[in-house]
Amino acid sequence: MIHNQKTRLMTRCAIYDKHEGADDLKKARFFRADYVRLEILKSIIGVTVGYLIVLIMIIMYYLEFLIKNALLLNYKMLGTRALAIYILILAVYIVLSLGRAKYAYIKSHKRLAKYYKMLGRIRRISEEQDYERELEEENWEEMQS
Amino acid sequence: MMLLFEIRAKITELYQRHDLIVKTALKFLLMFLSFRKLSKVIGYNTGLSGFGVILALSVFSAVLPPSLMVFVAAAYIFLQLITASVLIAVTVVLIFLVMYLFFLRFAPKEGVTIIATPLLCSMGFPYVVPLFIGMFGNIFSIVPAACGAVVFYLLRAVKNNIITIDELKAAKDQALALYMKVLDDLLKNPHMYIVMAIFAVVIVVVVLLRAIKMDYAFEISLGVGTGVMILSYIILGVFMYDMNLSIGKMVFGSLISMGIVFVCLFFYRVLNYSAAEHVQFEDERYYYYVTAIPKITAKSPRRTIRKVMSRSEDTPGDEDEESAIEAMNSMLANKNNPYRQELTAGDAKRLRKDLASNPEPDYDEDEDDEVVITGPKSRGGRKKAPFDSIISKLRGIGALLPAKKKRTEKPVRPMDIDEEEEEEDVNEQLYFAEDSEDGEEDEKLR
Residues A71, A76, A78, A80, Cα dihedral to 10°: 170
Phi/psi of residue B301, each to 5°? -60, 125
Residues 6 or more apart from B208 whose CB is under 8 A from it?
B221
Tell me if A37 is assigned to some domain: yes
How far apart are the C-alpha atoms of B403 and B152, rounded to whole Å?
A: 55
pLDDT at position B269, please? 65
H/E stretch holding B414: none
Torsion of CA B178, B123, B235, B252, to 10 degrees: 170
Global ipTM: 0.80
The 8 Å CB, 24+ separation contacts for A59-65 are A60/B176, A60/B179, A61/B179, A61/B180, A61/B183, A63/B176, A64/B176
- Mean pLDDT, rounded, for B280-294: 51
Give pLDDT, residue B356. 67
The answer to whether residue A15 is domain-embedded is: no
**Position A113 in a domain:** yes
Domain residue limits at B202: 2-268
The b/e string for B176-188 (b: 16+ C-beta within 10 A; e otherwise) is eebbbbbbebbee
Cα A49 to Cα A30, A65, A88, A125, B393, distances in angstroms: 26, 25, 15, 52, 64
pLDDT tens digits, residue range B183-195? Answer: 888 888 888 999 9
pLDDT value, residue A113: 92
pLDDT of amino acid B341: 52
> Which residue type, as a one-letter code, is found at position B48?
L
Report yes or no on A143 lying in a domain. Answer: no
Name the burial class of residue B225, with classes exposed (0-12), middle (13-18) and buried (19+) by CB atoms within 10 angstroms of its CB: buried
Q: Tell whether B307 is covered by a domain.
A: no
Q: Residue B158's CB: how many other CB atoms inside 10 A?
A: 26
User: Contact A15/B180, CB-based, under 8 Å?
Assistant: no
Which residue is closest to A17 within chain B, CA to CA? B431
**Interchain proximity A61–B179, CB inside 8 Å:** yes
The distance of A144 to chain B (nearest Cα, Å) reads: 31
pLDDT-derived band at B415 (thresholds 50, 70, 90) equals very low
What is the DSSP annotation of B343-404?
S-HHHHHHHHHHHHHSPPPP-S--TT--EEE-SPPPTTTTTTHHHHHHHHHHHHTTSS-TTS
Residue B196 — pLDDT band, cuts 50, 70, 90? very high
Percent of chain B with pLDDT over 90: 15
B291 falls within a domain: yes
Within a domain: A53:
yes
* Total domains present in chain A: 1
| Whether residues B332 and B188 fall in one domain | no
- The average pLDDT across B15-19 equals 72
Eight-state DSSP code of residue B123: T
User: Mean per-residue pLDDT for B47-63?
Assistant: 89
B229 vs B205: CA distance, rounded Å: 10
Report CA Rg, chain A: 29
Does B106 touch chain A if contact means CB atoms closer than 8 Å?
Answer: yes
Q: Minimal Cα–Cα distance from B442 to chain A, Å?
A: 7
Q: Decide: A122 and A13 in contact? Cβ < 8 Å.
A: yes
What does the pLDDT read at residue B424?
46
What is residue B258's predicted lDDT score, i.e. its pLDDT? 92
Contact B183 A50 (CB under 8 A): no
Could you give the 3-state DSSP secondary structure of residue B288? strand
Between B176, B179, B431, which is nearest A12 by CB?
A: B431
Residues 6+ apart with CB under 8 A from A95: none
- Contact residues on chain B for A13, CB-CB shorter than 8 A: 431
What's the pLDDT at B44? Answer: 82
Q: Does residue B413 lie within any of the structural domains? A: yes
Residue B421 — pLDDT band, cuts 50, 70, 90?
very low
Please check whether residue B54 lies inside any domain of the structure: yes
Are residues B294 and B171 part of one domain?
no
Which residue would you say has higher pLDDT here, A130 or B409?
Answer: A130
Contact predicate A122/A12, CB 8 Å:
no
Tell me the C-alpha distance between B291 and A135, whole Å.
49
At residue A58, φ and ψ (nearest 5 deg) are -65, -45
C-alpha span between B118 and B145 (Å, rounded): 9
pLDDT of the residue at B370: 42
**Count of beta carbons in the 10 Å neighbourhood of residue A113:** 11
* Structural domain for A94, as ranges: 32-138
Report yes or no on A23 lying in a domain.
no
**CA–CA separation, A17 and A9 (whole Å):** 12
Considering the domain architecture, whether residues B327 and B395 belong to the same structural domain is answered as yes
Residues from A in contact with B at Cβ < 8 Å: 4-5, 8-9, 11-13, 15-16, 19-20, 46-47, 49-50, 53-54, 56-57, 60-61, 63-64, 100, 111, 114-115, 118, 121
Assess whether B252 and B282 both reside in one domain.
Answer: no
Q: What is the residue type of B267?
A: F
Considering the domain architecture, whether residues B345 and B238 belong to the same structural domain is answered as no
Nearest CA in chain A to B90: A57
Q: Please write the tens of the pLDDT for every residue from B340-390.
A: 555 556 666 776 677 666 554 444 444 444 444 444 444 444 444 555 555
Domain-located, residue A144: no
B285 and B246 within one domain: no
Strands B287-294 and B277-282 come out as antiparallel
| Residue A68 resides in a domain | yes
Distance CA B426, CA B136 (A): 13
* B 373-432 → A contacts, CB under 8 A: 427-428, 430-432
Q: What is the pLDDT of residues B221-247, one digit of tens each?
A: 999 999 999 999 888 888 888 777 788
Q: In this structure, are B142 and B21 located in the same domain?
A: yes
Judgement on whether residues B295 and B219 belong to the same structural domain of the protein: no
User: Which residue in B138, B431, B446 has the most chain A C-beta atoms within 10 A of its own C-beta, making it the best mutation to test that interface?
Assistant: B431
pLDDT at B276 over 70: no
Domain count, chain B: 2
Between chains, do B91 and A57 touch, taking CB under 8 Å as contact? yes
Same domain, B405 and B290: yes
According to DSSP, residue B284 is labeled S
> Is residue A51 scored above 90 in pLDDT?
yes
Distance in Å from the first CA to the final CA of chain A: 26
In a domain, B261, yes or no: yes
C-alpha count within 13 angstroms, C-beta hemisphere, residue A44: 8
Query: Helix, strand, or coil here: A47?
Result: helix
B97 and B187: one domain? yes
pLDDT at B176 over 60: yes
Q: Nearest 5°: phi and psi at B211?
A: -85, -10
Assess whether B207 and B279 both reside in one domain.
no
Q: Are residues B78 and B201 in the same domain?
A: yes
